[in-house]
Amino acid sequence: MTFKTREAIRLSDGRELIYFNEGATDWATYPDTRELPPPPPTSQLRYDPLLDEWVAIAAHRQTRTFMPPPDACPLCATKPSFASEIPAPDYDVVVFENQFPSFSDRVKADEVSEITGMVPVRPGVGRCEVVCFTSDHNSAFVHLPPSRVRTVVDALADRTAEMSRLTGVAQVFPFENRGVEIGVTLQHPHGQIYAFPTVPPRTKLMLAAAARYRDRTGRDLYTDVLAAERADGARVIGSNEHWTAYVPAAARWPFEVQIAPHRKVPDLPALSDAERDAFGPLYLDVLRRFDGLFGKPMPYISAWNQAVVGEGRELGYLHLQLFSIRRAADKLKYLAGSESAMGFFVNDIVPEKAAQMLRDV
């Protein structure tokens, strides 16, 4: 790990906050001086029998903070004129419980009721955390040095390990949303971590595909997909000793890249020091290529796919999925009828062309 100290405190409403310090400064000595109401109740999970999926209903999130001015940003360090979510006057990387969580570990998992006999209801047990990459409000992940990316990876690994041990957690999902086009509600450079109470639909599909492939061939699906992409090379954006970045052959999004370690590992905590160090330079290069495509900041979602906590864990292969809804300098890809209603994606850009455009930046 690269961070020198890990300091945990409690905010005034009882939520946990953790400083991951690259230097020797003791930020934990600064108390939260705000008077906050207790954390809201968790979301409600309702089962959809038609799709065999759970849906979270989180009415309390309707009142979450939306696009505050820079001098009232809750993710900046606290200053004399404004007390933020981070009590210290500065920080390196900080993680704290979301004030408006979709899932919470403050409730019991066994409180089950029903809407009808067909729709059981249960609490949204889990956890949601916010990850601030830098105290610089006007920065972005792409502008971080590789050493800071390493600190972020270490922080995500720390949180993945801890959240995976929580009762009722099925999968830990770190991600970043960037850009108003994506729908961010806070401009400060940050990501989130969701500890899901059930296996998400996309993960269920991936597990089923991996299980079928293993039963048919005796081999690991993602291992073979990655090997095929590296051997073909037509969609590879970049690589180093430990990682490869490539556009999937059946990419759903106009510009989509997966970054995977060459060694099969289930999650971030399983990465070696060398693998953690090697990730940052390649990822930053891909982000710079995204921004360089149209000469302006690219809206994107960056999503870590990690192994599930329980059954099917052996099928997981850690990888990062990075994609943008921008398909041209002045055009966005909207999920219209085919995608939103039926989940059938129609991509406007040939993946090989997208890969060549990214390599040419």
Strands (E), the chain: 5-10, 16-21, 44-48, 53-57, 93-97, 113-116, 119-123, 127-132, 171-178, 190-196, 236-239, 243-246, 255-261, 300-305, 319-324, 326-328, 331-332
CA angle 316, 319, 321 (to 5 degrees): 125
Which residue has 């041990």 as its token pair?
Answer: 165
Distances (CA, A) of 360 to 237, 294, 356: 10, 12, 6
Torsion of CA 332, 293, 330, 298, to 10 degrees: 50
Which residue has 């020198």 as its token pair?
Answer: 4
Residue 82: how many CB atoms within 10 A of its CB?
Answer: 13
Q: Which residues pair with 328 in a beta bridge?
A: 331
Contact yes or no for 21/7 (Cβ under 8 A) = yes
Q: Is 137 a catalytic residue?
A: no
Contact yes or no for 98/165 (Cβ under 8 A) = no
Residues in Cβ contact with 64 at an 8 Å cutoff, skipping those fewer than 6 apart: 99, 100, 185
Contact yes or no for 97/128 (Cβ under 8 A) = yes
DSSP 5: E
Catalytic residue among 188, 190, 242, 319: 190
Measured distance CA(246)–CA(235) in Å, rounded: 5
Residues in Cβ contact with 43 at an 8 Å cutoff, skipping those fewer than 6 apart: 56, 57, 58, 60, 61, 101, 102, 103, 104, 123, 124
Nearest to 56 by CA among 159, 106, 128, 117: 128
Catalytic residue ranges: 190
